Amino acid sequence: MGRVLRTGLVGFGWINAKVWLPRLRAHPHFEVVGVHDPLLTASAGSTGSAGSAGAAAAAGLPPDTIAARLPDLLARDLDLAVVGTPNHLHERTAGAALDAGVATLIEKPLCLSTAELDRLNARSWATGAPFQISRPSPRRLDVARLQYLVRQMCAGPVQVRAEWLRAAGVPRPGSWFTRRDEAGGGALLDLGWHLAEVAQGLLPGSQRTGLTAELREPAPDAARGAARWRGDSPAAGGQDPDTGVFDVETDGRLRAHYRDGSVLSLRAAWASEVTVDTTTIEVRGTTADGERCRLELVTTFGFSPNRVTRPVLRVWRGSRSTEWSVETVPGKEYDDQLDATLAMVRRSAPWRVELRGTAEVLGLLEDAYRIAGRPLLPGTPARTTGGTRC
């Protein structure tokens, strides 16, 4: 069985409060022993007490769970830190956990540049603490089935089209999500990261040779397309959804070419022409005996209730076609991620192999934003061939 892992949450926004906290509480091998978020202690100053007790009660946490400072949380003999802070703080907060020798699970994006990843990796090597990104989408059963069929059917280069389009799904307009200086990017980074991870398991793996990208500016009324199903306040933290900063894209696209002839076309949009939030993964290629083949998964990633009512996986080989319904339980992939994180902490999984794939995803998106003229971090150079030593 192994002992229960003492876990701390760094940040208490939607992902940690609504996704990770209930799963950690339900899992027999994790115990949440502390939470650090400046908003939980802001009303009480640096000492906490009455204000933090009220905030903790509202969040369903015992008052003594709240740590006023990150070092206070890390001093609680943690086995795992779950980082769910604004994107621009990922390196700082995850780095502090690694420096303390604490294994770390980081929400996507892992960080905002290859240079940041290199620094995190160096800190991990220094203390021996492992880290990984939360990558639930590649752990989905429908994605695994698609990947298996692609490997069985397609020989040689493939064309992959990956799209995640929401009808109205902007996360908290006016908050850090829509500020470039804190988020780095918009929909292409937020949703596109999931798509890039899935596409990575569908491409043969040859070297990228070309890349184009386009980022579309938000419409004047973009704030009205808030993802209200999240159940959080758009103005949380003092930002107003109508007057707060909104300088990231709501719709982003990239097209990558690979040495073997494979092509990846990726589009991610918080607000688009669809009426139902839809994720589509399509793969076109040729079988070993020369027949054309096409595979298409149509579903909805994430937690939006505005979902595809009948998720389906379709396969065409020559003139023959097959179709399967794929039943999905929203959030199960996060349960599977938690099991993978348990394996990382216990050193029973090759987490550095997975991290090398994460470095490639970061490199793709980092280069796409730079090519589009809006680097995730101003002045950040494109990733060099070879990437980080993971």
Q: How many whole angstroms separate alpha carbon 207 and alpha carbon 205?
A: 7
pLDDT one-digit tens code per residue, 26-44: 999 999 999 999 988 764 4
Domain segments of the chain as ranges: 5-136, 140-330
Question: Which residue, chain included where needed, has tokens 């369903």?
Answer: 60
pLDDT of residue 17: 93
pLDDT of residue 48: 42
- 234 pLDDT band, cuts 50/70/90, is very low
User: Model's pTM, two decimal places?
Assistant: 0.92
Is the pLDDT confidence value at 52 over 50? no
Q: Percent of the chain at pLDDT above 70? A: 89
Judge if 5-136 and 140-330 fold alike in CATH terms.
no
pLDDT one-digit tens code per residue, 132-187: 999 999 999 999 999 999 999 999 899 999 999 999 999 999 999 999 999 999 99
Q: How many CB atoms lie within 10 A of CB 242?
A: 13
Domain 5-136 bears CATH identifier 3.60.40.10 = no
Kindly report the CATH class assigned to 140-330. alpha beta
pLDDT of residue 61: 84
- 239 pLDDT band, cuts 50/70/90, is low
Which range is least confidently modeled, 31-45, 113-127, 314-328?
31-45
Phi, psi at 202, each rounded to 5° = -110, -20
Please state, rounded to an integer, the average pLDDT across all residues of the chain.
90
Residue among 109, 298, 134, 97 at smallest CA distance from 189: 109
Report the amino acid identity of residue 234: P
Which range is least confidently modeled, 12-16, 238-242, 311-315?
238-242
Which range is least confidently modeled, 83-97, 113-127, 243-257?
243-257
Question: Which residue, chain included where needed, has tokens 């003999």?
Answer: 77
- The predicted model gives 325-338 an average pLDDT of 92
